[in-house]
Structure formats: structure tokens, C-alpha cells
Structure 1
Amino acid sequence: MQNDGMNLWRQMGETLANEITNGVWTPGSRIPSAPDLAIRFGVNRHTALRALAHLQDKGLVRIERGRGAFVVENVISYRMGPRTRFEENLVGLNRVPSRKLISLGDLPANEAVAAGLGIPVGQTATLARLLGEANGLPLSYGSNYFPTSRLPGISEVFRSAQQEEKERLSITACLRQVGITDFQRKMMRVRSRQPTNDEARYLRMPPNESVLEVIVTNVDSDGIPVMYASTSFCSSRVEFVMDM
């Protein structure tokens, strides 16, 4: 490849795609940078970038701003049932689960949150934004709302859990500390959409790739709502398996 003809980026992309298929570049590994690829293939940097974009369009790599291009890992089969939990899902797939608390605070419930929690519009809800990871790879970014008056102390529990457990924060464990020993999904809705700027940044995904947004209401053993959540999953990293 001594010239930058019209199809050089495509030829270069196909060569790299074959290497990925044949295991030269394993899932999760970092592809050489565009300048390094340009030297290897005898092309300019723009051509190398087009080749990487071609691989991303084919779903073979993901490009993370400021970090480079990585071979896409095997899709995680994420089980959805009345009581399946984030940690159980990933441990069952031999992945290491972790959660990070991105933000925590109280706010007046809007119509959607109020309906999900069964509280009046404007009543205080506690919002915990969490980033879920599998083996260190961002998988989900969720806004989790709790009825503050119904679960007094929930903010302090999350804050303490983050400090004590570092990255192993568990919603189940936090709810147990405020008296909710069991809960299950009452409602679930899934839709595909473009990510927000925050979602793309925290999930380290390109803004033109879709997220799968899962909206759920969880209730306690008496059927009373204890959590309303909107969680976005990077669509290229997960598939949902529904347990009926």
C-alpha cells in the first residue's frame, strides 16, 4: 500500500478485520494507533482513521475518545427476570461485576418518577446515578430513584457503601440496610435510542452507537414501589435474555 487510493482504507480495514477474526487481536485488546497503522500500511493518518471507523461500523472494534480502538468483546447475555440482579448476572458469566456511584442527591419527583414510585409529583426522591462495569468495561449507566420518605436514610446508606465497598457497591445490600429484604420487578420497558453526552462519556462509546434503555419499577414483598430506574446499556456489549 504505497498510495492513498480511494479504496486503501477499505483494504486496510479488511486486513485488520481478518486479523481480528483469526485471533491476532483478541477481544478487549487495543488496536495500534492510527499513526502506527499508517506507518505499517504505508498510508497517511487520515486513511488509517477511516479504516478504524470502517471496523467500528462493522461492529469489530469500539473507538474510545482519548484511549484508542479496542476489539469488541463477546456480547454479554444479560438475564432479565423478576429477581435477577446485576451482580448475579455477571458472576454467572465469569465476569467481575463492579458499580461506581457517580452522583447522589435528593430532588422533587417529576411525573415519570412519581408514577414509578407511587408518590405525589414534587415529593422528594433520592437519585443515585451508578456506573456498572464487567471486568472493568463500562456496561450500564443508570439513574435509580428511591422514595425518600418511605426509605429514610437511603442516601447515607449509599454514601457509606461507596466509601466502604469501593467499586463493589450493591443496590440489593443498600436496600437491605433500610429494611427491604426482598424486591422484584413489577414493570419493565426497553427501548433503543441515541446516548446522551453523559452516557457516551461514561460508557466510553461512540455517540452514533445506540443504547438500550431499560426502565423498571421494583416493588417490595407487599407490592409497594421501592425503586424506579432508567438504565442505559451499550447495545454492542449486551443482549437481553428474558426469563419467563
Structure 2
Amino acid sequence: MTGEKTPLWKSIADALTEDLAAGRYGPGDKLPTEADLSARFGVNRHTVRHALKDLSARGLVLSRRGAGVFVTQTPAEYPIGKRVRFHQNLRAAGRLPSRTSFLRETRAADATEATELQLTEGAQVHVSEGLSLADDVPMALYRSVFPAARLPGILDHLAELTSVTMALKACGVPDYTRAYTRLNATLASATQALHLQCREGTPLLRAVSVNIDAEGLPVEYGHTWFVGDRVTLSLDLEA
């Protein structure tokens, strides 16, 4: 008497897992399309989708809406210290950094922003929000708030340069350091999950920070929401 047959989706998942273990697809590589996998294994797309969902649940692959399914990257090392630089940190970890912005506006500061930036409540601030990526994989959402009177042209510089460091230099701030960073855990909301291409409720690590210039004046009040399994944050007391 024979035992129960292995479900087709599990057999496909096992075959793909073996491909990953053998190095046929490395971190960041895109897997074949559902159509190609269906042809390879002689099954319909629903069965392939079930297998890919299993790999995703085990953290082996990441599905990116409209782009495909990719082998999960190893977490990027991201040191937190006095001289935190997004692009430099990721390049040092062997990753290609990039940023996309979906909001740039000037508005009145709320009470917390005014306190952190040493402004009077209601003073104007420039706000930039967007997505930080490593090798085109979403790593974090960010919100940066800048004092408008001190940095009147920073939104234009950010649009042109994308790097906060370069934008601050263009505004006459050649160097800055981190005054503090506070970390706490949270869960991805529906809109955050959409941007970060993860599931709603995915663990995020939120960093709240203030950067200051050489004279000790705040130049940026920032929030960053990191996807928990895509980054390893480390405290660098010398950086």
C-alpha cells in the first residue's frame, strides 16, 4: 500500500529551494515568471503561486508588485552613530543605494517638530517623504523635516541631488552629526506595506532622530521605518 502523494506545489517548492541552496539563483536575483515555472513543471499558475507563497512564508523570496519574485537579500548592515550617511552606509555594505520621493511640501511645523528643530510653533518647515532602496529593493520609508528659514532651498536641492548630505552641502551645511536616535518596534500599516512591498503587520523598526550642524543647531528631524528583516542596525559609537 503506497503512502499519500506529495502535493504538486510542495514538490515545486522543494525543487526551487534546491535551486536556491545550489546557488542557481543568488540574493537579489529574479526568479522565472509564473508562466515559465508553469511550463517547467507542467502545472497551472495557481499551483506555482502556491509554491512561491510557501517560499515567501519561509523568507526565501520576496514578491514585488509588478516586478516579479526575487531571492531575499541578506540583511544590509546599517551602523547608527554620530555620522550616519544613508548612501555611504549601503555602499560600504556592497549595496547600491537609491531614493524615491513621493512628497515634498512646505507647511507649518507641529508642536513636536518645532521643539525638535528649536523653532517657534507654527514656523515653516520643509518636508520630504519617500522610499529608501538597496539594489532596487525597498528597505525603509523616511520622513525628513527641515527648518525652512535656515534651509530655504533644500527641497529643490533634494529633487536634484536625492542625497540629504549633498542637499545640505548645497544649502551651506558642509557637515552635520547625529544628536540622537531613538528606536522602537512597530507594525506596517496598509499604506506602509504597499510602499515597502511587504505584508500589512510586518515588523518594522522605527528610528526617530535629529541631526545638527557644526554650531549645534538642528538641521533635520527625521523618521525612518526600516523593514525588520532587510536591515541589521548596529550601534557604532565611533561613527
- TM-score, scaled to structure 2: 0.85
Match of 2:175 in 1: 182
Q: Does 1:110 align with 2:110?
A: yes
Tell me the SS of whatever aligns to 1:31. coil
**2:152 corresponds to which residue?**
152
Matched letter for residue 209 of structure 1 = T
Superimposed CA distance per residue, residues 143-166 of structure 1 (whole angstroms, 9 cap, x where no aligned partner) = 10001123233233334xx2xx4x
CA 1:241–1:203: 2 relative to 1, 3 Å: same
Aligned to 2:202: 209
1:141–1:198 CA distance, 2 compared to 1 (3 A)? same
Say which SS state the counterpart of residue 32 (structure 1) adopts.
Answer: coil
The residue aligned with 1:137 is 137
Query: Any idea what SS the aligned residue of 1:239 has?
Result: strand
Pairing of 1:55-134 with structure 2 (within 5 A) = 55-134=55-134
**In terms of mean alpha carbon deviation, does 132-141 or 21-30 score higher?**
132-141
Give the whole-Å Cα distance in 2 for the aligned partners of 1:239 and 1:48: 31
Paired position in structure 1 for 2:14: 14
Q: Deviations along 1:48-98, whole A, 9 cap, x unmatched?
A: 222211111111000112222111122211111111211211221232322
One-letter amino acid of the counterpart of residue 84, structure 2: T
Name the TM-score, length of structure 1 as normaliser.
Answer: 0.84
Distance apart, 1:36 and its partner CA: 3.4
Q: Is the 8 A contact 1:64 1:206 kept in 2?
A: no
Matched, 1:239 2:232: yes
Partner of 1:222: 215
Q: Is the 8 A contact 1:195 1:209 kept in 2?
A: yes
Q: Among all aligned residue pairs of Structure 1 and Structure 2, give the percentage whose two residues are the same amino acid.
A: 32
Unmatched 5+ stretches in structure 1: none
Structure 1 letter corresponding to 2:46: H
The one-letter code matched in structure 2 to 1:158 is L
Distance 1:107 1:59, change over 3 A: same
Aligned length: 234
Cα offset for 1:181? 2.3
In 1, Cα distance between equivalents of 2:125 and 2:190: 24
Cα distance between partner residues in 2 of 1:106 and 1:28:
37
Query: Alignment partner of 2:229: what SS?
Result: coil
State how far apart, in whole Å, the 2-side matches of 1:121 and 1:99 are. Answer: 30
The CA deviation at 1:22 is 1.3
Structure 2 CA distance for aligned equivalents of residues 32 and 207 of structure 1: 26
**1:42 Cα shift?**
4.0
CA distance in 1, matches of 2:156, 2:116: 22
**What do you get for the CA RMSD once the two structures are aligned?**
2.4
Quick one: distance in 1 between partners of 2:114 and 2:14? 51
- Determine the C-alpha separation between the residues in 2 that align with 1:25 and 1:82: 37
Q: 2:77·2:90 contact (CA, 8 Å) conserved in 1?
A: no
